[in-house]
Amino acid sequence: MPGFCSNTDWQKAVDAVRNSRRIVVFSGAGISAESGIATFRDEGGFWQKFPPEDFANWQGIAQVALFQPRRLAEFLIAVLEPIASAVPNAAHQSVAALQQTHDVAVVTQNIDGLHQEAGSQTVRELHGSLLRVTTSGHPPQKESLTREQLAAIVRDMKNLTGDWLWTPQLLKIVHPLLHVGASGFRRPDVVLFGDALAEPDWSQAEQDVHDCDLLITVGTSGLVYPAALLPEMARERRVPIIGVDPLTPCGDIYLCGKAATVLSELVAASGQNVT
């Protein structure tokens, strides 16, 4: 047993994984922390640098774009740069390894695409993805973006020189990500505060929780609804809940530690080979 948990909870967690067939892994920003992507509410977290009232809703972002374009560039660099260079860590790989012996549905609040890149087949992206853009229309058109495209946008924003052409140059650089034109309004396919959760992902996630016999919640403060309803729905069904977090006790079986270490040890101890 690794040195980060009480041995009772550790053995309970190993047994719960061994005795389950259909697992929901409910993940938040903490699972990607060891891939270099900042969480939102930890000390020094993202929202401390970019207050959500300005940057977590479309009206606020439009205001910043109009009156503080350089601040918008700072925000976009802070969001895009870590995701452009991120690779899945051992936590994402461990979740994917669970598919060798279990039906696994990943329900993530993250927009970084790392679960899919680690090999998870069923991923519900409740808050959308920064690796996809949507253009208004009936129906809205969705297009994928690569991490290389995000990296190029960051590089060009960083090279912007400071003169009166600065704003039109910025709009040209972010064109693949943000654009208003004859074809409609193109923006990242993400869910901000005040938006409805992504569908069909939310409905599928509710069904996943309805059908599961184990829920593993990892790296989330559990403060943002309606996503945070999912562990409550599992509890109402008396499904065992394993919580993985270094700071915030969570779940009925709490494993105190970082996701990469805890999940790789848990998945190994319950019999899967983590690649």
Name the site residues for ligand APR (rule: CB under 6 A): 28-30, 33-34, 39-42, 45, 109, 127, 218-221, 223-224, 244-248, 258-259
Closest approach, Cβ 169 to ligand APR, in A, equals 29
Q: How far apart are CA 3 and CA 257, in angstroms?
A: 9
Residue whose CB is less far from ligand APR, 109 or 173: 109
Active-site position among 92, 102, 127, 138: 127
Residues in the chain: 275
The pair of structure tokens assigned to 33 is: 């922390």
Coil vs helix vs strand at 111: coil
Is residue 127 annotated as a catalytic residue, yes or no? Answer: yes
Q: How many CB atoms lie within 10 A of CB 45?
A: 15
Residue whose CB is less far from ligand APR, 162 or 249: 249
Coil vs helix vs strand at 181: strand
Q: How many CB atoms lie within 10 A of CB 119?
A: 14
Distances (CA, A) of 173 to 71, 80, 150, 238: 15, 13, 10, 50
Residue whose CB is less far from ligand APR, 97 or 173: 97
Q: How many CB atoms lie within 10 A of CB 168?
A: 10
Residue whose CB is less far from ligand APR, 42 or 213: 42
Closest approach, Cβ 164 to ligand APR, in A, equals 35
Closest approach, Cβ 25 to ligand APR, in A, equals 12
Residue whose CB is less far from ligand APR, 129 or 221: 221
Q: Which residue is nearest to ligand APR (CB)?
A: 30
Closest approach, Cβ 116 to ligand APR, in A, equals 16
Residue whose CB is less far from ligand APR, 13 or 173: 13
| Residue 213, C-beta contacts closer than 8 angstroms, at least 6 positions apart | 20, 21, 22, 23, 239, 240
Closest approach, Cβ 180 to ligand APR, in A, equals 24
Q: Sheet with 128-135: list strands edge to edge.
A: 141-144, 128-135, 184-190, 179-181
Q: How far apart are CA 29 and CA 38, in angstroms?
A: 7
Closest approach, Cβ 168 to ligand APR, in A, equals 31
CA dihedral sign, ordered 202, 198, 220, 249: negative
Distances (CA, A) of 272 to 3, 18, 89, 262, 265: 20, 10, 17, 14, 10
Q: Known catalytic residues? A: 127
